[in-house]
């Protein structure tokens, strides 16, 4: 694998990743992502819990900020290379992987191929910054490009697939009025529970003492609860050991 400084790669073989190569692999495809929050350190827990699902394939996207939390600082913060060797993980991607080679006509585009491949996208954690960008349709990194290119109608990929987000941020950020505006877009306009044609599910944060020392709402929901939602949404209940 390439060094963590430039991310892992498109596939363990080093060949360009093509969604079409995995259409008949017999797996459910989970695209797991993390943006810049301390809660990124829970990503290994989520992957480990899902490693017992034999019919599941996982690919991980980290924003540049999220990558800062997974560089081998401690046992709970392994390197990307270590995460890439965990069961069921088929690839780990950073922003640099999007255009690792000069693009030529006919070449695969990573954020499109990953969108085609994924049965479900889970962003845990979703930071305040990425929440704002997502709600406004910005696409200035690999993760947000996937979100922006998501087939929200199902007319392109043949099925409307869902995105689950688990916000995590400082209490003051969570309580900020602009955050509530952004949530109204995700939950009210795009939300699965409210909009008939919605595609977003928000797993709201909880109240506890945060890593920064503040106490209040904004902490990402416990990783085990997120795993339970993934298992239910992908119908993996009968495949866990």
In order along its 241 residues, the chain shows pLDDT tens digits of: 333 334 444 455 567 889 999 999 999 999 999 999 999 999 999 999 999 999 999 999 999 999 999 999 999 999 999 999 999 999 999 999 988 788 889 889 999 999 999 999 999 999 999 999 999 999 999 999 999 999 999 999 999 999 999 999 999 999 999 999 999 999 999 999 877 789 999 999 998 776 666 677 899 999 999 999 999 999 998 655 4
CA distance 223 to 36: 16
Please give the helix or strand (H or E) that residue 87 lies within, else none. Answer: none
CA dihedral 69, 75, 76, 82 (to 10 degrees): 70
Instruction: Please name the helix (run of DSSP H) or strand (run of DSSP E) that holds residue 123, with its range, or none.
Output: strand 120-126
pLDDT of residue 241: 47
Distance from C-alpha of 22 to C-alpha of 119, rounded to nearest angstrom? 12
Predicted model pTM: 0.92
Which residues participate in catalysis according to the annotation?
111, 212
For the record, the structure tokens of 18 come out as: 């093509």
| Structure tokens given for 179 | 């955050």
CA 173 from centre of chain: 21
List of domains in the chain: 4-233 (3.40.50.1950)
CB burial of 195-218 (b: ≥16 within 10 Å; e: otherwise) equals: eeebbbbbbebeeeebeeeeeeeb
In order, the DSSP letters of 196-222 are TT--EEE---EEEE-TTS-EEEEEPPP
């Amino acid at each position: 694998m390439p060094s963590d400084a430039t991310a892992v790669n498109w596939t363990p073989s080093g060949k360009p990743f093509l969604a079409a190569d995995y259409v008949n692999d017999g797996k459910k495809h989970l695209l797991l992502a993390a943006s810049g929050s301390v809660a990124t350190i829970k990503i290994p827990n989520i992957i480990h819990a899902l490693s017992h699902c034999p019919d599941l394939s996982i690919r991980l996207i980290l924003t540049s900020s999220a990558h800062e939390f997974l560089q081998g600082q401690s046992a709970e913060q392994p390197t990307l290379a270590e995460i890439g060797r965990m069961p069921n993980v088929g690839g780990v991607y950073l922003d640099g992987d999007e255009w690792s080679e000069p693009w030529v006509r006919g070449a695969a585009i990573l954020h499109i191929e990953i969108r085609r491949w994924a049965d479900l996208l889970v962003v845990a954690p979703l930071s305040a910054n990425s929440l704002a960008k997502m709600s406004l349709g910005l696409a200035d990194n690999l993760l947000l490009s996937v979100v922006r290119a998501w087939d929200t109608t199902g007319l392109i990929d043949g099925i409307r697939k869902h995105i689950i987000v688990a916000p995590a941020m400082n209490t003051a950020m969570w309580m900020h009025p602009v955050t509530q505006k952004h949530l109204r877009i995700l939950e009210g306009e795009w939300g699965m529970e409210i909009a008939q044609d919605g595609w977003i599910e928000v797993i709201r944060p909880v109240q506890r003492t945060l890593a920064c020392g503040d106490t209040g709402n904004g902490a990402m929901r416990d990783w085990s609860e997120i795993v339970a939602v993934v298992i239910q949404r992908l119908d993996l209940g009968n495949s866990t050991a």
